[in-house]
Structure 1
């Protein structure tokens, strides 16, 4: 009898061990599923986040590159039509996007027809807000959307999540680039850079007459004698469809004696050497230090006062010839008062022009400084909320969304 009772506890201990083993196996299986789920979430969540950053970088860069191309189709001196510039912008966006990796793809693809659109951005002085109008020209705004989605036949493939039945993720990013009106110019502190501003002023009346001839096909007396080749950067003596204006002082003008001339952007005692330096190399930080806060900026009334010298000296002819074919900003004035070195020009805007031909020797009627309108941008523009004009100088491309 004792032997029978002694055997029973051994049997119970064996059963307990079996039950424990079974429980551990079930628990291990459950934990394995949980671990796989956590791994799937962690790995794929990280992949999605990294890819989101990659496609956003691609969209930002593509929009910026596209806007850079659109600039060439803006203004009276546009070197391309608006539609041609838009076509080049689509190509630029596609090419830029392809340089970026997105998740498991080394080169991201873009469908320009689907993913790129153009529009016009203008300042509304009534609401004090920017109005965005898509598919409206002139195009000064572009939107690029980069997609890794099922609808675009390019979803982001899952890694561990496939075990749980989730095969892919949709990821996309959008960017909008535009340009902004310029309210002045600046240079960073201690900068060695310069701004391409020509220290020679032109009156608003003459400039507006030139624009009227370009846009309204009126005959205001401006001729088209020179051609700029954008491929070589050379200027030849043949027409290119953009008339030139002679900004050399006109002795027969109805304006006051001494109209037009060089202006002092910097020291009021600018020498011929200073003018030649500015013509060839641009305005530097030392020049801007003569202005409040080191900025060449319009005041609240929208004007800027510059001292100057009426007339243009033959001493700067060689400097001007060295920049033929180059683009510069010039100040446009509405009034000039005072004689000689005491002249003061009231500037209302800066416009972009290309230097086409120069001759400052011979009789007054034989001298000329011919320029034609040209697109101009600079990274050192002071951006502002102001109406966008066809001839205004704009900032370089910036992301607005």
Structure 2
């Protein structure tokens, strides 16, 4: 009996020792597993933080490129409007792009452009890009880089753990002032207007002016109109025989019987929301690229003072291809809108001496409708700058 008891106690001791050994082994395994898990979590955190750094860097790079492209496009427009040489336009756009890019940071470091990374060109509604004709340039394309050869790659936080010390990245942005304009949306409220003159010009006269086949007797220099040449040819908006059954004259963008007071208001202040409502239809080309507007008998001396007040200023005019009917029954077929600058006005005296001299001038078309089909294209009327790529 005593011997059995001793054996039982010995078995209990052995079992206790065995269990203690198992617990010690489990603790060692847990420690190893915990170490592996901790290292894995650290590695995962490193990868996550570096991917976050890359994502933030790409977002910052896109922001900087977009801002630079839009600013450079506006600068290009300003220099073109001022009649600057293409070299001056290119340099001004490049400097502006770099100014706006350097004002932003990518990974706490500003990035700047190399010369080849700021490109001026023509962008159309189909997405085609061309640099062959500087006279048609309406867009700026920029490529902003953080690469080893330009601004350096974006440094990462945990390169020693992930095996990648930095990230190469670049982004391209294109800003354009589109020229496929099919009409205008009505003003947003009763206090806003759109600077369209209710005076129409025939298409052949317009094409002659932009082709340099008319006269160049006036110059717009430093904000004033002077006698002389500035390389931009002019045409006369005053009514004269065109071989059509009507004549150049006023068009009714509003009621069918616009009075002289209405025309004076529209010349000075633009087309209002009420004018759009009275027109009774959208100021927009149809599927054939045409818009019919009722006409009046011609340009009268009653609006000479209003036109003279606009000398040196830019406005939008309708361009027509045909006139049907006479006087107040005339209907003008409008096929495009264009930008002009008024240079000289004389509506008194002999008919042969009367004139409203205009020259093509780039104008920003506020509230413009964009013709995405590309059938209506202006040469001197552009939308505000917008990102297209």
Among 97, 109, 112, which residue is 1:93 paired with?
97
TM alignment of 1:225-244, pairs within 5 A: 225-229=218-222, 233-244=223-234
Q: Deviations over 1:6-32 (max 9, x none)?
A: 876666566455444433432232122
Matched position secondary structure for 1:320: helix
* Alpha-carbon distance in 2 for matches of 1:287, 1:328: 17
Equivalent position to 1:334, from 321, 328, 340: 321
Give the whole-Å Cα distance in 1 for the aligned partners of 2:341 and 2:114.
Answer: 32
SS at match of 1:309: coil
Once residues 339 and 193 of structure 1 are traced to their aligned partners in structure 2, the CA distance between those partners, rounded to angstroms, is: 33
| Residues 370 and 188 of structure 1, relative CA distance in 2, 3 Å threshold | closer
Q: C-alpha distance in 2, partners of 1:186/1:58?
A: 31
Corresponding position of 1:298: 285
Tell whether 2:206 aligns with 1:207: yes
Inter-partner Cα distance in structure 2 for 1:160 and 1:193: 56
Partner of 1:60: 66
CA pair 263-376 structure 1, distance change in 2 beyond 3 A? same
Q: 1:285 aligns with which of 236, 261, 273?
A: 273
Kindly state the Cα deviation for residue 284 of structure 1 after the two structures are TM-superposed.
2.1
Write the deviation string for residues 71-123 of structure 1: whole angstroms up to 9, x where unpaired: 4576xx77233443233222222222223332333xx3221413222333357
Corresponding residue number in structure 2 for 1:133: 130
Classify 1:349/1:116 alpha carbon distance in 2 versus 1 (closer, same or farther; 3 Å).
Answer: same
Paired residue secondary structure (1:280): helix
Question: Does the residue aligned with 1:163 lie in a helix, a strand or coil?
Answer: helix
Deviates more, 1:186-195 or 1:44-53: 186-195
Classify 1:35/1:175 alpha carbon distance in 2 versus 1 (closer, same or farther; 3 Å). same
1:262 and 1:62, CA in 2 relative to 1: closer, same or farther beyond 3 A?
A: same
Structure 1's 237 and 177: CA in aligned 2 closer, same or farther, altered over 3 A? same
Cα deviations by residue, 1:370-392 (Å, 9 ceiling, x for unpaired): 21110122132111122586735
Distance in 2 (alpha carbons) for counterparts of 1:295 and 1:71? 29
> Which residue, 90, 103, 108 being the options, matches 1:104?
108
Paired position in structure 2 for 1:386: 374
SS at match of 2:302: helix
Hey, what does 1:177 align to over in structure 2?
Answer: 175
The question of whether the paired residues in 2 share the 8 Å contact of 1:181 and 1:392 is answered with no
Are the counterparts in 2 of residues 37 and 161 from structure 1 also a CA contact under 8 Å?
no
Cα distance in 2 for partners of 1:317, 1:242 equals 24
Q: Does residue 267 of the first structure (1) align with residue 292 of the second (2)?
A: no
Query: Given the alignment, which residue of 360, 370, 380 partners 2:357?
Result: 370
**Corresponding pairs, count:** 380
1:195 matched to 2:194: yes
In structure 2, which of residues 264, 274, 294 is the aligned counterpart of residue 276 of structure 1?
264
Q: Does 1:31 align with 2:37?
A: yes
Normalising by structure 2, we get a TM-score of 0.85
Deviation digits for residues 155-198 of structure 1, max 9, x if unmatched?
22212454333222223222223324111111365474322111
Q: Which of 128, 142, 146 is 1:148 aligned to?
A: 146
Deviations 1:283-331 (A, max 9, x none): 1222222446x52112222222211222222232232233222211111
**Aligned: 1:398 with 2:386:** yes
Alpha-carbon distance change, 191 to 91 in structure 1, aligned in 2, over 3 angstroms: farther
Distance 1:99 1:192, change over 3 A: farther
Distance 1:236 1:207 in 2: 22
Gaps of at least 5 residues in structure 2 are none
CA distance in 2, matches of 1:339, 1:154: 70
Q: What do you get for the CA RMSD once the two structures are aligned?
A: 3.1
Closer/same/farther in 2, CA of residues 65 and 191 from structure 1, 3 Å limit: farther
Q: Which residue of 2 aligns with 1:165?
A: 163
How high is the TM-score relative to the length of structure 1?
0.82
Q: Secondary structure at the match of 1:262?
A: coil
Query: Are 1:46 and 2:52 counterparts?
Result: yes
CA offset at residue 369 of structure 1? Answer: 1.7
Q: Check the 8 A contact 2:339/2:362 in 1, yes or no.
A: yes
Q: Which consecutive unaligned segments of at least 5 residues does structure 1 have?
A: 124-128
Distance in 2 (CA, whole Å) between partners of 1:151 and 1:362 is: 69
